[in-house]
Each structure stands twice: as C-alpha cells, then as structure tokens.
Amino acid sequence: MAMKLLEKVKKRAEKAESILLDKEPNIKLNGKFSVNMLNTKAKDPTDAIFGIKPDGTIAHFCISEMPHMLVAGTTGSGKSVLLNEILVTAMCHSTPDELKIGIVDPKRVEFGRYKKLPFMLADPITDMDEAYDFFEYLVILMHERYKLMEKAGLQNITLYNEYAEKNGLDRFPYVILLVDEYSQLVGTHKEVEGLIVQLGQMARAAGIHVILATQSPRSTVVTGIIKANFPSRVCLMVASDLESRIVLDEGGGESLSPKGDMIIKLVNGSMVRAQGAYISNKEIETIFNHLRNTMPEPEYVDYRAIVAESRGEGGEDEDFGGIGKAPVRKSAKRNLNTPLANSSSKEPSIEKKSTFALKLEKNKEEKEKQGAKTLEKLQAEKLEKVLKALDKADSEPQTSNNTNNEQPISSKTKPKTTDPKVSVNVTITTDKSEKKQVNGTTSPIMQKMLKAKKQVHK
C-alpha cells in the first residue's frame, strides 16, 4: 500500500502530529496519490519545504531568495534528512529545464541514490580533486551567464528568463549546489574556499545557489568571509554554545532536540523555529524511480573538459585560490546554460587524474626545473665574471716601477691547493711588464680555470 508523500508532514518522536497539504498535484504516482508541496503555487523552482512551524504552518522558503545557506548539525540532529527534504521537494514541482542540482558528497554514501536523476548536472562528486574542477566550472558558468545578461541589458536570472522566453532563447535553469561535510572538504583542500566565496559573492543574480552543510561548525571552517557571504543559516542540534554562536551569532542551538528540531536564521536576521519533516528512504526511492521512468535520461555536463579548455585558453598562471578574486578566463566555446546540450554521459575513467591534480604536478616539476636552472645560471655567471676580470687584467699595461721590489711569481709557479677551498693571494704574470692580483677564496672549479689560464699564456 503506497504512502502519501508529503501529504502528511510527520513529526518525530513523541510529537506525532500531521497536517494535510491541499494543492493540485504536479506529479501523479500510479494515479493513487500525489506529491503535494505548498498550499499555493510555488514562486520559482527553488521553493522547498523545511518542516513545520510551532503554529502548525509549513516552513517553506525560496532558496533563490536566501540566496546561499549554511546548515550545521551534529550526528543525530537530522541534518541529512533535512538536506534530502529540501532537494526532493524542490524537484517535485520543477522540471530539469528549470532546475539543476550538483552535489559534493565526501562521505560517498549519503547521496548515492541521486545518480542518473534528470535534474543532476553530474553524478554526486566524491573525489575532492574533481570537486575543485566542479566549483571552477560553476564559476565559469556564472561569468558566462553574466556576459549574456550584460549583452541583453538585464540584471538577474528572472529578467533574463522572461526576455529569453519572449525572444525564443534558452532559459537559464536555476542551479542548487549542495556541499555536504564542508569541514572535511576544506580541511584537505583549503583552496576550494576561494571558489566557494566567489560563488557566494556573485552567483545569486546568475541563478546559482550554494548550500554548505557541516557537522563541525568550527571557526576555522566557518570563517568570517564564509559567514558574510552565506547570510541564511540553519542550526540543528550542535555540540556547544560556541558552535551555536558560530552558526547563528547567538546561543540556543546546543539546547535543540535531536531529529529535526531547528532554528532558521533568514537573510533579514529574523529567526524561525521549525521541526523538520521526515522523508523515509522508501519514499525518496519512490519519487526518484518515478522521475527516472517519466523523464529523459540525464546528459551530464562534461565539466572537466570545459575547465580544461578554459585553462588552456586563459593560461594556467592565474590564481584561483585567492579568496574573492574572480578568475579571468575566456569562455569555453559551448553553450554552458542549456541543461541537456553541453554534456557527455560517458563516465570518466577512474585512473584519469583531475585537471587540478595534473596542474599541481606540473607546477611542482616546473619549480624543480627552475631551481636547477637557477643554480647552474648562478655558477656560470660567477665563472664568467672571473674570466672577464682575468682578461681585463691581462689587457692593462703594467708600470715598470716596482715600488716594493717584489719578485713576481713565475707563471709556472702553482699555489698550494691541498684544501678543496683555499684562500689564495697570487700574482700571475704573462711577461715581465704585466701582472694581476687575484684575491679571495676559490673553489676547485675556480682553481681549474686559473690553471687553464696559465697554460694559455705559456
């Protein structure tokens, strides 16, 4: 017997309470029940349910208005269920032409069921080097969209999509990027913070929205610049008052109950208390199977090829790790905004290294070569200076007066060089009217050069 999905928002534990959502269904499953979301029509494809408020009304928000969000909650707080709830309810009233989703999943297992969904830009990314490439692709996509909006004289995705619809152009789908276990990602790949901050600073008007989720909201992870660009926060149960203050800028998160009890801080600074809705794995699979059976197969964006092409055109010396610094890249010569037109469904080889890893190796090799070349160059320059000094001394005429009545040392006379590096003070003469003074510490190479010079003058 099929269960009604989201028609009953289940309260956890002893708070078993439900409400009915009346809405004309967008997706019919087996003709017996429907997936309902809001009492009124959704404003845009990023509308999502978070749960139920204390007064019994639904806590639903538009992700595009948040516009970027930080979600924090310790083990057992209900964080993963909330993230699934947000993505699933957004997909229930949208189409792949309106909404695209990208997921970075360091744990590898939490979002594996999202593979091959029509809404996905790519399968959930579990390799952190590939995650860097994916973030870089979204930055390229963002700049590409801004170029098209600038050309049309428009300021944001809403205006551009209206313009595109009137003029027969491709609309921009909204993009929701979910980064789970952000603390694990930034702990091993600190350089990704720069790309994420770029998206946080600039991607809103381009229709790209980021959700960062973490179990450990430490100050080293949730830095000041991250908080400044992620104004909306969701705090589920956290371990301490300090973690609550890092997320919400005030305490209280440590006193929340497990399993979905949350405080939502909106972009205007107001706080909303809510109890998360529960969606079982069976319900999620029912929805996903329906989407796979009724919609075209996804054609994934080949983001690594786009990034590699962009790096090749724009040069590889630009700093993508600088926080807030926008990359100066030439756009890849393809339509980055058409949901199903720029991709290759071919799965990448496991043995193939990411472009970021290859770039690191190349930079390391270049630095090693440069270091070796620099050492050789310095040695050559030093020898060249000595030879020039010798030639200059040979070309200068020697005065006939020897005030000190010193006897010059014959060119056949050799200084004692028992030590590899010795201090010498010798006068080398090529004839009776010419001499030169060489002072200092010489290496074995220098001693050979002096010897060769003497042999030439013989």
Report CA-CA distances (Å) from 303 to 236, 266, 321, 348, 444. Answer: 33, 32, 19, 11, 56
Helices (H), 43-156: 79-92, 128-152
Backbone conformation region of residue 6, classed left if phi is above 0, alpha if psi is from -120 to 50, else beta: left
The type of residue at 346 is K
- Taking the C-alpha atoms of residue 205 and residue 158, their distance in angstroms, rounded to an integer, is 8
**Phi/psi of residue 303, each to 5°?**
-65, -30
Alpha carbon distance 69, 211 (integer Å): 5
**Residues annotated as binding site for ATP?**
73-80
CB 7 within 8 A of CB 29: no
Amino acid letter, 312: G
SS3 assignment, position 431: strand
The dihedral of CA 169, 170, 171, 177: what is its sign? negative
> What tokens appear for 89 in the block?
């309810």
Amino acid symbol at 417: T
User: What 3-state class would DSSP assign to 228?
Assistant: helix
Answer yes or no: are the C-beta atoms of 264 and 59 closer than 8 Å: yes
- The sign of the torsion formed by the CA atoms of 403, 406, 407, 413 equals negative
Is the distance from CB of 207 to CB of 175 less than 8 angstroms? yes
Binding site listing: 73-80
Three-point CA angle 133, 157, 145, nearest 5°: 40
Q: Which residues contact 369 (CB under 8 A, 6 or more apart)?
A: none
